[in-house]
C-alpha cells in the first residue's frame, strides 16, 4: 500500500444554477492575459450540449485519454511510438476554431463617431489579429440551448439512447437540461502528464495538483490532445501549455480556490482523499463496466488505523490525515456513494466527482394532492425522468447505469425523508421504506441533508495545511521568498532574444 | 583576403557565438527555448507544409553530417554507380521536400492574419536565411551533380581543417560560387541560430521515449520512501 494524499473535489449538480460566477472569478484571476483570452480553466456547459471545446467528449476525433491494448495501458493520441512521427504536426489537436476566437469591441467609435443619421456601433475586433471580425461563436455559445438541433442533438453522450429517449430530450414542454461546471480534474493517472515529450508536466506529490513547468514546456502540445477533458490549453502568444492550477497559491494560504469560493449555489466541496497509488495501473486495466467501482476502491478509509499508519510511513503529515477524516469529498464519494467521476472510461481517474442531478423535481398534481406516487415501486419516476438514466450513465458511469441510479435513488429518498419530517405530506413509514430501499439510514439521510443544504464554508472546504513554508525553508528563507514573488512572466514571453 | 575572412574567420566567429549564446540562453531564458507553434491558430495547411519541411531537412542534414564525418566510407559506398544514383535521388528528394515545405510554411504564415501577429522580425530572418540555404542547396544539387562524392573530397577536408584549428581553403578554392555562397549562408544560419526560434532543434524530446509515464514532484523530502 502506497498511500498518497490528494486534494479532491465534488460538484453537486443538483444545486448548480448555471450562473458562471465560477468561470468569471477564475478568468479575472488567471486567464485575463494575452494568449489566454480564449481559455476557460473553469467553464460551465449546458448538457445535453456540445460543450467547450466543441464535442470534447468525442474521443474518436480528439483521441484523448488512455486505452487498453493487449492488456497494456496506452495513450490514445500520442503513445511513445506515435510521438516520433507526429512531432511536427499534432493530428488530433483542437484548433482555435474548436473553441472560439476571442474578441473585444471598438468602443472608441461610440465616442469618436462623427455626427450622422445612425447611432454609432461598437464593432467586434479580434483579440488575436486586432482586425474586425465576424463573431461565429464565443464562450457559452450553447448556453441554455438544451433541445437545440445544433448543440443538444450533437452531444456525444446521446450514444446508446433510443430514438424515443432522444426525441423526448428535445420535445416541446419536455425539454430538459442541466449544467456541468468543469475544471481540471487533477487526475490520479493524468494522460497530459504522461504525454508530455519534455516532461514538463507533473503531479505534486503532497496534494496531487497537476501543473505545467512553464520553463520546461516546449510547446509540443501533446498534453492538449492527450487530456480527454480538454482542460490543458495552449497559450498561442506565449507558446506554453496552461491549465487550472486549483488556485494552489490560495490553497497554500488556506483559502478555497476562487471558483469554489465564489460559487453562488454552493455546489462545490473540497477536501483531502487518501488513495493507494500502487493500485492505479491494476485498476486502469479493468473493463469499462467495473471501472467506476474500481476507481472508488482506490480511495482509502482515513479512519482505518492501518491506512493512517501507512500514510504516516509515507511522510503524510498527521494534520493532513486528520483533514482527510473530515473531508466532505470522502463522504460524498465513498461513504454515501452519491458522487461519481466524469467519463471514468477515459481511465485518467479524475479527482473531481459529480453528484448527478435529480432535477427537475418529479411531482404531479392530482386534485388537492400535491404529490402522487401511484406506483408501488417508489423510484419508478427515476427511470422515467426527463433526463434518461442512460444519458447520465454515459457521462458519469462509463455507460453503466447502476452507480447513477444508486445516487439518484438515494438523493430522492433523502428528499422524501425530509419532506416527511418538515412538510408532512409524505408519511414517515413510506419515507423510511424509501430510505431502506435506497441503502440509506435516517442518520445518513440527515447527514446528507445537512451537507447538501445547510453546509457552512468550513464544512464545504476542508483545506489541509499545505506546509508550503516548510518546503521553501529547505532552500530559502520563507520571508525572503514571500517578498520576491509576484505575478506574471518573470522573463517575458519572446521566442527570440 | 575576403575569402580568408569568410572561410577562415567567420566559421570560428559563428561557432563561438553559437555555443556561447546557446548555453547562456538555456541557462537564463529557458522559458524561451522552443519554437512558437502556430498549429493552434490555424490547422489548415499546417500538415502539408511543416511535415515535408521537417522530414526533408532532417534527411538533408543527416546527409551533410555523414559526408562530413565519414568521407572515406561515403566515397567507398559511392564507388558502385547504382548506390550513387540512389543517394543522389534521395538527397534531391529531401531537398525538394524541404523547399516545398518551407515555401508552403512561409506562404501560410504570410497569408494567415492570426499567424502573422505572432511572427516577429527574427522569424522572417530565419525564413530568409533558410530559403536562401535550401533554395541554393537544391540549385547546387541540380547544377553540380554527385554532390555526395565531391562533398567528401573537397568540403570534408576543409571542414576537418577548421576542426583542427588550421583552416585550409585549398580544397574548396576551385569550387563554384554557388557552393561557396551555400557555405557562407550556412555560417550565417549557425550564427543566428541561438538568437531565434531555431533553438527548438536542440530540445528534441529524447528522454520521453524511456521515461516512466507519470511524473510526481515532491515539495519536501519524504521521510520514508
pLDDT at position A493 over 80: no
The answer to whether A191 touches A64, Cβ cutoff 8 Å, is yes
* CA distances in angstroms from A49 to A54, A344, A390, A409, B126, listed in the order given: 9, 19, 16, 25, 44
When CB atoms are compared, the residue of A199, A215, A315 closest to B222 is A315
Segment B165-186 mean pLDDT: 93
Cis ω before B139 (30° cut-off from 0): no
Return the minimum-mean-pLDDT range out of A73-82, A115-124, A300-309, B50-59. Answer: A73-82
Cα dihedral sign, A293-A15-A265-A451: negative
Nearest residue to A239 via CA among B202, B41, B111, B208: B41
B205 has pLDDT over 90: no
Pairing status of strand A299-300 against strand A124-126: unpaired
* List of residues 6+ apart from A112 with CB closer than 8 A: none
**What are the angstrom distances between the C-alpha of A361 and each of A173, A265, A392, A447, B31?**
15, 17, 16, 21, 52
pLDDT of residue A421: 92
Pick left, alpha or beta for residue A39 (phi over 0 → left; psi -120 to 50 → alpha; otherwise beta).
beta
Q: Which residue of A has its CA nearest to B208?
A: A197
The CA angle A34-A38-A40, to the nearest 5 degrees, is 115
- ipTM reported for the complex, 2 dp: 0.91
pLDDT of A16 above 60:
yes
- Number of residues written out for chain B: 225
**Res. B221: pLDDT tops 70:** no
Quote the mean pLDDT of chain B. 92
Q: Return d(Cα A438, Cα A434) in angstroms, integer.
A: 6
Please say if the pLDDT value at position A288 is more than 60.
yes
Task: Give per-residue pLDDT as tens, A163-183.
Answer: 888 887 877 777 888 999 999
- The yes-or-no verdict on residue A369 having pLDDT over 90 is no
A82 pLDDT band (50/70/90 cuts)? confident
- Please give the C-alpha separations between residue A394 and each of A48, B40, B98, in angstroms, as whole numbers: 11, 29, 46
Between the alpha carbon of residue A396 and those of residues A124, A292, A295, A333, the distances in Å are 39, 8, 12, 13
Q: What is residue A448's three-state secondary structure?
A: helix
What are the residues facing A461 on neighbouring strands?
Answer: A270
Distance (Å, whole) CA A492 – CA A490: 6
Domain residue ranges in chain A: 10-102+141-259, 281-364+381-460
**Ordered DSSP codes for A207-220:** T--EEE-TTT--S-
Least confident of A381-390, B28-37, B82-91, B144-153: A381-390
For residue A157, pLDDT beyond 70: yes
In 3D space, the residue among B67, B79, B76 whose CA is nearest the CA of residue B154 turns out to be B67
* Per-residue pLDDT at A12: 97
Query: Are the Cβ atoms of B220 and A470 closer than 8 angstroms?
Result: yes
CA gap B222, B218 in Å, rounded:
8
Between vectors from CA A210 to CA A83 and to CA A462, what angle results, nearest 5°? Answer: 160
Q: What is the pLDDT, as a whole number, of residue A223?
A: 94
Rounded to 5 degrees, φ, ψ at A269 are -130, 145
Topology adopted by domain A10-102+141-259: Alpha-Beta Plaits (3.30.70)
Nearest residue of chain A to residue B216 (CA atoms): A203
Q: Quick one: pLDDT at residue A485?
A: 59
pLDDT at residue A274 greater than cutoff 80: yes
Strands A3-12 and A178-182: unpaired
In chain A, whose CA is at the least distance from the CA of B196?
A: A496
Q: What is the pLDDT of residues A104-137, one digit of tens each?
A: 999 999 999 999 999 999 999 999 999 999 999 9
* Rounded mean pLDDT, A207-213: 95
pLDDT over threshold 60, residue A372: no
**pLDDT grade for A67, boundaries at 50, 70 and 90:** very high
Which of the listed CATH numbers 1.10.240.10, 2.60.40.10, 1.20.950.20, 3.30.565.10 matches domain B2-209? 1.20.950.20
Query: Quick one: cell of A112?
Result: 469618436
Residues with Cβ < 8 Å from A150, sequence gap 6 or more?
A142
Q: With a cut of 90, say whether residue A24 has pLDDT above it.
A: yes
Measured CA to CA in angstroms, residue A138 lies from A104, A124, A406 at distances of 11, 12, 37
Angle between helices B71-78 and B46-69 (to 10 degrees): 100
Predicted confidence at residue A169, as pLDDT, reads 80
8 Å CB contact between B54 and B46: no
Which residues of chain A make contact with B24, given a CB cutoff of 8 A? none
Q: How far is the alpha carbon of A220 from chain B, nearest alpha carbon, in Å? A: 8
Q: What is the pLDDT of residue A310?
A: 96
Mutate to test the interface with A, among B29, B197, B219 (most CBs of A within 10 A): B219
* Cβ within 8 Å, pair A497-B33: no
Q: How far is CA A305 from the centre of its chain?
A: 31
* Among the partner residues B41, B47, B215, nearest to A193 by beta-carbon distance: B215
pLDDT digits (tens, 9 = 90+) for A423-472: 988 889 989 999 999 999 999 999 999 999 999 999 999 999 988 777 77
Instruction: Please provide residue A235's backbone torsions phi and psi, each rounded to the nearest 5 degrees.
Output: -80, 105
CATH T-level fold of A281-364+381-460: Alpha-Beta Plaits (3.30.70)
Using a CB-CB distance cutoff of 8 angstroms, which residues of chain A are in contact with residue B116?
A: 129
What pLDDT is attached to residue A489? 56
Within a 10 A sphere around the Cβ of A67, how many other Cβ atoms? 16
User: Mean pLDDT throughout B170-192?
Assistant: 94
Beta-carbon separation of B219 and A80 below 8 A: no
Q: Taking the CA of residue A392 as centre, how many other CA atoms within 13 Å lie in the half-sphere pointing to its CB?
A: 30
Nearest CA in chain B to A89: B47
Amino acid at each position: 500500500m502506497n498511500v498518497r494524499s490528494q486534494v479532491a473535489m465534488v460538484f453537486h449538480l443538483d444545486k448548480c444554477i448555471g450562473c458562471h460566477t465560477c468561470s468569471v472569478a477564475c478568468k479575472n484571476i488567471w486567464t485575463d492575459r494575452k494568449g489566454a483570452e480564449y481559455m476557460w480553466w473553469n467553464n460551465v456547459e449546458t448538457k445535453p450540449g456540445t460543450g467547450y471545446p466543441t464535442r470534447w467528449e468525442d474521443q474518436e476525433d480528439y483521441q484523448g485519454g488512455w486505452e487498453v491494448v493487449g492488456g497494456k495501458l496506452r495513450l490514445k493520441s500520442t503513445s511513445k511510438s506515435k510521438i516520433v512521427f507526429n512531432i511536427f504536426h499534432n493530428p488530433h489537436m483542437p484548433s482555435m476554431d474548436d473553441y472560439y476566437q476571442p474578441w473585444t469591441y471598438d468602443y472608441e467609435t461610440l465616442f469618436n463617431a462623427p455626427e450622422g443619421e445612425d447611432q454609432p456601433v461598437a464593432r467586434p475586433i479580434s483579440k488575436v489579429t486586432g482586425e474586425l471580425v465576424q463573431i461565429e461563436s464565443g464562450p457559452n455559445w450553447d448556453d441554455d440551448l438544451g433541445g437545440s438541433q445544433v448543440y443538444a442533438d450533437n452531444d456525444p453522450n446521446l450514444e446508446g439512447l433510443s430514438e424515443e429517449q432522444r426525441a423526448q430530450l428535445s420535445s416541446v414542454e419536455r425539454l430538459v437540461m442541466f449544467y456541468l461546471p468543469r475544471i481540471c480534474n487533477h487526475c490520479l493517472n493524468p494522460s497530459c502528464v504522461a504525454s508530455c515529450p519534455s516532461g514538463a508536466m507533473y503531479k505534486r506529490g503532497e496534494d496531487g495538483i497537476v501543473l505545467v513547468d512553464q520553463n520546461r514546456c516546449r510547446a509540443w502540445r501533446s498534453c492538449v490532445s492527450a487530456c480527454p477533458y480538454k482542460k490543458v490549453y495552449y497559450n498561442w502568444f506565449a507558446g506554453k501549455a496552461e491549465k487550472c492550477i486549483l488556485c494552489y497559491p490560495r490553497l497554500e494560504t488556506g483559502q478555497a480556490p476562487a471558483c469554489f469560493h465564489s460559487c453562488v449555489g454552493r455546489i462545490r466541496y473540497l477536501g483531502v482523499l487518501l488513495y493507494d497509488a500502487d493500485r492505479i495501473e491494476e485498476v486502469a486495466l479493468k473493463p469499462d463496466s467495473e471501472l467506476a467501482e474500481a476507481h472508488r476502491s482506490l480511495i482509502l478509509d482515513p479512519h482505518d488505523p492501518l491506512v493512517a499508519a501507512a500514510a504516516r510511513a509515507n511522510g503524510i503529515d498527521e494534520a493532513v490525515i486528520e483533514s482527510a477524516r473530515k473531508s466532505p469529498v470522502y463522504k460524498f464519494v465513498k461513504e454515501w456513494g452519491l458522487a461519481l467521476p466524469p467519463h471514468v472510461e477515459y481511465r485518467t481517474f479524475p479527482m473531481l466527482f459529480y453528484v448527478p442531478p435529480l432535477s427537475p423535481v418529479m411531482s404531479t398534481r392530482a386534485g388537492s394532492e400535491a404529490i402522487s406516487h401511484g406506483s408501488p415501486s417508489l423510484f419508478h419516476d427515476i427511470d422515467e425522468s426527463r433526463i434518461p438514466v442512460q444519458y447520465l450513465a454515459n457521462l458519469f458511469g462509463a455507460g453503466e447505469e447502476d452507480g447513477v441510479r444508486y445516487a439518484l435513488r438515494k438523493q430522492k429518498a433523502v428528499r422524501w425523508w425530509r419532506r416527511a419530517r418538515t412538510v408532512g405530506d409524505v408519511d414517515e413509514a413510506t419515507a423510511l421504506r424509501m430510505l431502506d430501499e435506497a441503502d440509506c439510514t435516517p442518520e445518513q439521510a440527515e447527514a446528507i441533508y445537512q451537507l447538501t443544504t445547510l453546509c457552512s464554508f468550513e464544512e464545504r472546504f476542508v483545506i489541509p495545511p499545505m506546509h508550503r513554508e516548510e518546503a521553501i525553508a529547505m532552500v530559502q528563507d520563507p520571508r525572503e521568498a514571500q517578498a520576491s514573488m509576484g505575478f506574471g512572466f518573470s522573463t517575458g514571453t519572446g521566442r527570440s532574444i | 583576403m575576403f575569402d580568408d575572412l569568410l572561410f577562415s574567420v567567420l566559421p570560428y566567429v559563428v561557432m563561438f557565438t553559437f555555443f556561447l549564446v546557446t548555453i547562456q540562453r538555456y541557462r537564463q531564458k529557458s522559458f524561451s527555448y522552443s519554437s512558437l507553434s502556430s498549429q493552434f491558430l490555424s490547422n489548415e495547411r499546417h500538415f502539408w507544409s511543416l511535415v515535408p519541411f521537417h522530414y526533408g531537412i532532417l534527411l538533408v542534414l543527416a546527409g551533410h553530417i555523414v559526408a562530413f564525418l565519414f568521407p572515406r566510407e561515403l566515397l567507398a559506398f559511392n564507388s558502385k554507380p547504382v548506390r550513387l544514383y540512389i543517394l543522389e535521388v534521395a538527397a534531391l528528394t529531401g531537398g525538394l521536400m524541404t523547399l516545398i515545405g518551407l515555401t508552403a510554411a512561409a506562404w501560410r504564415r504570410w497569408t494567415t492574419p492570426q499567424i502573422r501577429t505572432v511572427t516577429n522580425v527574427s522569424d522572417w530572418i530565419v525564413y530568409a536565411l533558410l530559403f536562401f540555404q535550401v533554395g541554393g542547396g537544391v540549385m547546387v544539387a541540380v547544377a553540380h551533380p554527385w554532390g555526395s562524392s565531391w562533398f567528401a573530397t573537397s568540403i570534408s577536408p576543409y571542414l576537418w581543417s577548421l576542426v583542427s584549428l588550421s583552416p585550409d581553403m585549398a580544397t574548396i578554392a576551385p569550387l563554384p560560387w554557388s557552393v561557396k555562397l551555400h557555405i557562407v549562408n550556412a555560417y550565417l544560419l549557425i550564427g543566428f541560430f541561438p538568437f531565434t526560434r531555431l533553438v527548438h532543434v536542440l530540445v528534441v524530446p529524447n528522454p520521453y521515449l524511456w521515461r516512466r509515464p507519470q511524473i510526481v514532484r515532491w515539495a519536501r523530502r519524504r521521510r520514508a520512501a
